[in-house]
Structure 1
């Protein structure tokens, strides 16, 4: 992601936290890619705005609810309150949402990206509570209580499979991920496993389809019995050696998941050029991604869409009140023409009237084409965003305050 000074200020961050920029790889072929990136890239390099002391990993799955209260930047909390109760109201709300077929004005899935575990890219494996944090289960309860039914969990491949992507999975990091996933799916919602790596491992582009297939076989083995787990192959490929490699890596992901015996879950695939919906038919994605195959026939094409001038999600100024609908139009046509399913895996808009109209237009477009669009997930939630322009952390996050009522109309 290419950061502007204004974005850094808007996100409530200082320039010094950007210590580990994503490696840019020069390419020299006919597949030119736009220079813009995504707001999600911020989480790969951002140090936490509040360091919450955590001395042990999360307890066993389905047993915890962590307080979502976050101290201001100048005052870190001395402890994290943990409760062993679960919100029955949240469970009921999500069960109702997921058990109801699409109706006019609703999408099948609506939820939030829950960041934290992918923070601190410069420090691998890093220290929990200092370099990275897991999303709060209390936040999940609040959002499922509103009817949200899907949560994308960004994490780092380097923390889960340390040293090499074919390594055995780290038991501590995996245990914490599993605890969060179990909490989400026990509430009736879907948990999307998102290796937030941009087609990189250890700072370099990975090209081995065999290694990538092994990584996904190892991951899927751990989650193959939970039908509400979704496997998201990799976040926002960009500046890759070729578009065909991106397609081949996605196919390796699908093959690895199915080889693990995970045959009932969805697999989300992402394209190059930061998987932008607005560039799907011009970036080369439409030429190669449609050839992916899955014996379970559960591929969903994940696209991301921001509404600022360069589509990067680094500004809270939207191009126009109609830009949301405009930027998904061509992708919608491609999905329909090719008989594919899609989801907007990341989207957001600023807390202003123009952006609210644009976001509404985007969601209205998904509803109108519910034959191909399965839903959308806001970027981004998580306890360490502070006053980030799109923060969806209850109750005070800028995005949450501005958009919770708007988004819940589509559930």
Structure 2
């Protein structure tokens, strides 16, 4: 996404042909009262290379955020699933994004922060993300209440979200526990930005347990997003695409029961 928006270099100019479509989509979503998350799925990379310049990364965000600065229903997610990177760099990229989004005039919008090791909730401490990111600051709000730590959690053996089976019926809540404690201990807010599971009894129970854990700790967890939806997902095992997605009929009622 970063390359499609600004194709020549991070400090370059927007490709208006591509960006106009994104702007139309965001306008359509937010005009209906919903929130739109600008979430580059770049994994901390640009054209496949790890981004090492926080200044250039910040410049990219300043350019993009300026176009949405007057829309309070836009949320900025610094990048999807940083991985295999130095934790200091992950901190610096997140801080550069926050600082430059605010410098662009987008001073009231929420910002999602992601960690290393694919931003996994169960590895939040082990990966070093917790220590690396706990001191991020927001120039627009000293309380930090506009910053949300976005974590992801799948329930299969390796937590990759590539298997229909779940480890156990209790694995959802179990894998979130360490992240919940970190959020509470550090007075932070979290969002579970990705969760998904196969359509079977064990996974259904595990997902219910995970969402119940979030609800029971609502001061720390402010929301959850299911992965994924869209017609291009075809027969993907976790698809929530109405009404044909494999997970749609099973998991939509479960998720709605927590609203």
Q: Alignment partner of 2:8: what SS? A: coil
Return the match for 2:122 from 278, 300, 309: 278
| Residues 1:161 and 2:6 aligned together | yes
Report the count of equivalent residues: 255
Which consecutive unaligned segments of at least 5 residues does structure 2 have?
none
2:232 corresponding residue in structure 1: 384
- Where has structure 1 moved over 3 Å in runs of 4 or more? none
| Residues 1:322 and 2:185 aligned together | no
| Residues 1:364 and 2:209 aligned together | no
| Residues 1:287 and 2:131 aligned together | yes
1:299 corresponding residue in structure 2: 147
Can you list the C-alpha shifts for 1:185-211, whole angstroms capped at 9, x where unaligned? 111111110010011101111110000
Q: Alignment partner of 2:105: what SS? A: coil
Q: Give the TM-score normalised by the residue count of structure 2.
A: 0.97
| Residues 1:246 and 2:87 aligned together | no
Which consecutive unaligned segments of at least 5 residues does structure 1 have?
1-155
Name the CA distance, whole Å, in 1 between partners of 2:22 and 2:99: 22
**Residues 106-255 of structure 1 aligned to structure 2 (within 5 Å):** 156-240=1-85, 242-255=86-99
Return the match for 1:257 from 89, 98, 101: 101
| Residues 1:350 and 2:194 aligned together | no
Larger Rg: 1
Structure 1 position 403, deviation (Å): 0.7
Alignment root-mean-square deviation, CA: 0.7
Can you list the C-alpha shifts for 1:244-301, whole angstroms capped at 9, x where unaligned? 1101100000011000010000010000000000000111011111010002231100
Name the CA distance, whole Å, in 2 between partners of 1:166 and 1:324: 41
Can you list the C-alpha shifts for 1:316-339, whole angstroms capped at 9, x where unaligned? 100000000000001000000000
Q: Give the TM-score normalised by the residue count of structure 1.
A: 0.61
Q: Alignment partner of 1:344: what SS? A: strand
Name the CA distance, whole Å, in 2 between partners of 1:360 and 1:348: 11
Can you list the C-alpha shifts for 1:363-396, whole angstroms capped at 9, x where unaligned? 0000000011001000001111110101111011
Q: Alignment partner of 2:67: what SS? A: helix
Name the CA distance, whole Å, in 2 between partners of 1:275 and 1:382: 23
Can you list the C-alpha shifts for 1:167-226, whole angstroms capped at 9, x where unaligned? 111112111111111111111111110010011101111110000110000111000111
Structure 1 position 166, deviation (Å): 1.5
Q: Alignment partner of 2:94: what SS? A: helix
Q: Alignment partner of 2:227: what SS? A: strand
